Structure 1
Amino acid sequence: MDSKSTSEVREKLLETTEDLIYRNGIHATGMDLLVKTSGVSRKSIYKYFGTKDELVAEVLKRRDERWMDWFRTEVERAETPEARLLEIFSVLKGWFESSGFRGCAFINTAGETGDPQDPVRLVAKEHKEKLLEFVKEICQQYGAADPDALARQLLVLIDGAITVAHVLGDFNSADSAKEVMRTLLVK
């Protein structure tokens, strides 16, 4: 197998796995379904990734990079730090209203793992830490008296809005979180 076809097979497997995991969850996405849907043999799957957990962790790492790049770009379109803090929720609402929204892949997958040291859970934790750092950067630019505390409060609002949008189907949770954010914007 040449390197191009190896790369294509690996890419197909990662894309298929991400789609299935995001739609159905880790446990509902068995190896038989991955083989059937991706067209990649079980032997090849284990060649590229030693375990299903390694495959899912790699999928989540890629999603983290893509999601954070998208989120950062969208939020940073706002001109001032205060506008960026509020824009977070406009960006989230647009995501909630997009086709295929099924909540946060990192919250969803972390909820399927009981062990805090599980590779999937560790990737989810890293994602939330990156999100927290990004939000903290904006809080520092804003001049918050305690940027760390404000960023932590904001992360709770972000994840709360995502969860309410996913579980209750209430996309206005982003608007509600934005209103709470306005009350926190005191230097």
Structure 2
Amino acid sequence: MNEINSNETRNIILDVAEKLIYKSGIAATGMDLLVKTAGVSRKSIYRYFANKDDLIVAALQRRDERWMHWFSSEVDKAPTPRARLLNLFTVLKTWFDSEGFRGCAFINTSGETGDPQNPVRQVAKLHKQKLLDYVTRLCTEQGVESPDALARQLLILIDGAITVALVMGDHSAADQAQNILKSLLAETE
């Protein structure tokens, strides 16, 4: 198998795994379903991934990179530091309104693993840390007195809005979170 086909096969496996995990969860995504949906042999999957856990971790790492790139690129389109902070929730609402929205893949998969040391939980923790670091940067650019503290509050607002949008079906959770942020910013001005 040449390198191009090899990378293509690996990418197909990762794409299918990510979609199935996001749609139905880790437990519901068995190897038989992966094989059938990806149109590859079980042997092909094991050529790239030692086991299902390794595949799940790789799929989540890939989702982290893609989602963070998408999110930060969209948020950063706003012209000023304050507008970028507010845009966090405008961008989230766009995501909530998109077809196939199933909440945060990292919160969802973490809920399926009990052990905090589980590699899936570690990927989720790293994702949330990257998100926190990004939001901290935005808070610093805004010039707030305590950017770390505000960023931690915003992480809670972000994850809360995502959860409410998924569980309650209330996509206006992003608007409500944005209004809370406006109040928090007014306190710092």
Matched residue type, 2:33:
L
For 2:121 and 2:43, how far apart are their aligned partners in 1?
25
1:120 aligns with 2:89: no
Q: Identical aligned pairs, as a percentage? A: 62
For 1:58 and 1:5, how far apart are their aligned partners in 2?
19
Higher mean Cα deviation, 88-97 or 39-48? 39-48
Number of the residue aligned with 2:169: 169
Q: CA deviation at 1:27?
A: 0.3
What secondary structure does 1:89 align onto?
helix
What secondary structure does 1:13 align onto?
helix
Number of the residue aligned with 1:130: 130
Matched residue type, 2:135:
V
The number of aligned residues is 187
For 1:38 and 1:132, how far apart are their aligned partners in 2?
34
Deviations 1:121-146 (A, max 9, x none): 11110000000000000101111111
For 1:113 and 1:40, how far apart are their aligned partners in 2?
27
Number of the residue aligned with 2:151: 151
Number of the residue aligned with 2:33: 33
Number of the residue aligned with 1:102: 102
For 1:152 and 1:165, how far apart are their aligned partners in 2?
20
Number of the residue aligned with 1:20: 20
CA RMSD of aligned residues (A): 0.8
Q: Which runs of 4+ in 1 moved over 6 A?
A: none
1:57 aligns with 2:57: yes
* TM, length-normalised to structure 2: 0.97
* TM, length-normalised to structure 1: 0.98
User: Unmatched 5+ residue regions in structure 2?
Assistant: none
For 2:74 and 2:139, how far apart are their aligned partners in 1?
17
Q: CA deviation at 1:47?
A: 1.7
User: Unmatched 5+ residue regions in structure 1?
Assistant: none
For 2:182 and 2:51, how far apart are their aligned partners in 1?
45
Q: CA deviation at 1:151?
A: 0.2
Deviations 1:25-74 (A, max 9, x none): 00000011011111111122112101111101111111111111111111
